[in-house]
Amino acid sequence: MKRWTKILSLLAVLLTSMAANANDFEAQVLRLIEAGFPEKARLVPELAQSGDDRALDILNAWNDGELYFVRSPDRVVFAESTDDGITVTDVLNGEVTEGLGRRAVRSVSVNNALRQTLGVTLGAMRLSTGSNAQRLDAAQRLLRAADPENRALIETALETETNEAVRRELLHNIALLDFNYGTVPVQLAALNTLQDSLNSDVRNALTSKLAAAETDPQVRAEVEQVLEKIEGRVRFFRQMDNVFFGLSLGSVLLLAAIGLAITFGVMGVINMAHGEMMMLGAYTTFVVQKFLPVSLDYSLLVAVPLAFLVAGAVGVLMERGIIRFLYGRPLETLLATFGISLILQQAVRSIFGPLNQAVANPSWMSGSWVINGAFSITYNRLFIVIFAIMVFLSLLFVLRHTRFGLQMRAVTQNRAMANSMGIRSGWVDALTFGLGSGVAGIAGVALSQLTNVGPNLGQAYIIDSFLVVVFGGVGNLWGTLVAALSLGVANKLIEPYTGAVLAKIVLLIGVILFIQKRPRGLFALKGRAVEG
């Protein structure tokens, strides 16, 4: 009997303690309504250390400026705008109240100093509760703060951390604290760890120490050596960054030029409206996101085939209505397609207005893959590189393994012989023009994820597209691939030294000199018509 009495007593004490802690937490949350900034700064760590599951959501919302309060009775709430007014949810008990006026809901104030405290505190909380990415972000936030009061927290997290990237960042945190606040031997030991870091905050700390007059000469000499090593690695990764941006630019050029390579190679038509096909594809993406009830994350799955059909249909109409009457007169086709490009631009201005339109990125194309402090890969450009290769392989399959591809290659190599074998070269021309225009429309979808959509979108890429086609070899898909990626990477590697405009001029001169030696480009088509 005594044993059960003790157990019941312990349970009563535990429940009483839990209720007291819950009451303390709720009181702390309600204090946010009246507290000034100094008291709020003291409440932040108290809320974080309360152990309450609700603390992280409350502090997150407060840090993002999305924490509110209402009066009568006093409540701290999350708020959401609806057609009927403001709907609020009590952060403590989840009670929902609808239809409040905007004046009834006020924001829990936050300033820059408090936001910094919130950021460090949230980072500390995520070190123990978050995913790998969240813990890495938290460690980087702590590194940015470099506060010695966080040392115990960092060391505790390091004891249980298993992810190598997070462990490395935590070690850099401790080393930076040793470097900033330790004795000379401690600083020298910390530099051995910091020399592996490419984080900009570490580089800034080393640079500041180098500029300080009171820095020990031995530490100064070691800092200079470490900075030299770090800067060498940073330069390497910046070049890698330029190469990646060059590949993404080359992928855009590939999408822009590959349709032009098909039409120019088969029909010899200089299509100055090719850029407007890209523009139509970009505006199709805008319309899909704006007017159709499609989830943003899946909008591109609808926009890609729709852009291909819209731009392809316009291409077929152009070929059947105008261009087929001008074969054999390249200057007249150039003038005619230039006129069509002006008409299409003005039509878009009349429908959508002259201003640029913003197209949103799906969530899976937002953000970046951080390799290290000096090199990261943005997801939208990475997906465009992958997408361009997929389009290239699809076109290669169509040309090599379908009846239409066989007929198109026959017309390319010898039009007269193809006609004599019963191939309707006129319809092959129309479908080929539609295929090239459709691929340009797909290129517009990709461009809409990199830049704003406007009436002049295609004009920025038409000259580069012709340059790629001529450099790679007219009508040759492999030549277009090699030329697009080569020119894209070369452009981004030259730009840091010459600027964007001069880099294009240098590439243009280089291509002109190359064409003097190889007039048919890198990979010339073979056939009687070509050679004739």
User: Is pLDDT above 90 for 457?
Assistant: no
- Write the CB contacts of 250 (distance below 8 Å, at least 6 apart in sequence): 484, 485, 486, 487, 488, 489
Q: How confident is the model at residue 22 (pLDDT cuts 50, 70, 90)?
A: low
What average pLDDT does the segment 148-162 reach? 78
Query: Residue length, the chain?
Result: 532
Q: In angstroms, how far is the first alpha carbon of the chain from the final one?
A: 110
Distance of CA 510 to the CA centre of its chain: 31
CA distance 46 to 495: 52
Q: How confident is the model at residue 525 (pLDDT cuts 50, 70, 90)?
A: low
Paired tokens of 373: 């402090």
CB 470 within 8 A of CB 480: no
The model's pLDDT over 78-88, given as tens digits with 9 standing for 90+, comes to 888 877 778 88
CA distance 296 to 510: 42
Q: What is the pLDDT of residue 221?
A: 86
CB 287 within 8 A of CB 453: no
User: Is pLDDT above 90 for 6?
Assistant: no
What average pLDDT does the segment 339-343 reach? 89
CA distance 493 to 246: 8
**Rounded to two decimals, what is the model's pTM?**
0.71
From the list 155, 114, 161, 153, the residue with the least C-alpha distance to 135 is 161
CA distances from 445 to 251, 282, 493 (A): 13, 5, 26
Kindly report which listed range (8-17, 58-67, 97-106, 466-475) carries the lowest average pLDDT score: 8-17
Paired tokens of 144: 């940015």
Paired tokens of 397: 């399959």
SS3 470: helix
The model's pLDDT over 47-72, given as tens digits with 9 standing for 90+, comes to 877 777 788 788 888 888 888 888 87
CA distance 74 to 273: 64
CB 136 within 8 A of CB 166: yes
- Write the CB contacts of 278 (distance below 8 Å, at least 6 apart in sequence): 256, 311, 440, 441, 443, 444, 447, 457, 458, 461
Q: What percent of the chain has pLDDT over 70?
A: 91
Q: What is the pLDDT of residue 313?
A: 92
Mean pLDDT rounded to a whole number for the chain: 80
Q: What is the pLDDT of residue 125?
A: 72
Q: How confident is the model at residue 308 (pLDDT cuts 50, 70, 90)?
A: very high
Beta bridge partners of 319: none
CA distance 430 to 414: 17
The model's pLDDT over 382-416, given as tens digits with 9 standing for 90+, comes to 888 999 999 899 888 888 888 887 887 777 767 77
- Write the CB contacts of 483 (distance below 8 Å, at least 6 apart in sequence): 257, 468, 469, 471, 472, 473, 521, 522
Q: How confident is the model at residue 475 (pLDDT cuts 50, 70, 90)?
A: low
CA distance 194 to 188: 10
Angle formed by the axes of helices 132-145 and 164-181, nearest 10°: 10
- Write the CB contacts of 398 (distance below 8 Å, at least 6 apart in sequence): 404, 405, 435
Domains in the chain, ordered, with CATH?
237-368+376-531 (1.10.3470)
User: Is pLDDT above 50 for 312?
Assistant: yes
Q: What is the pLDDT of residue 309?
A: 93
The 3-state secondary structure of 94-152, one letter per residue? CCEEEEECHHHCEECCCCHHHHHHHHHHHHHHHHHHCCHHHHHHHHHHHHHHCCHHHHH
CA distances from 487 to 255, 392, 464 (A): 14, 17, 9
Q: What percent of the chain has pLDDT over 90?
A: 4
The model's pLDDT over 177-214, given as tens digits with 9 standing for 90+, comes to 888 888 888 888 888 888 888 888 888 888 887 777 67
User: Is pLDDT above 70 for 96?
Assistant: yes
Q: What is the pLDDT of residue 265?
A: 64
CA distance 161 to 396: 48
The two most distant CA atoms of the chain are separated, in Å, by 110
What average pLDDT does the segment 303-308 reach? 90
DSSP-derived letter for residue 370 is E
Q: Which helix (H) or strand (E) covers residue 206, if one does?
A: helix 200-211
Paired tokens of 484: 């697009």
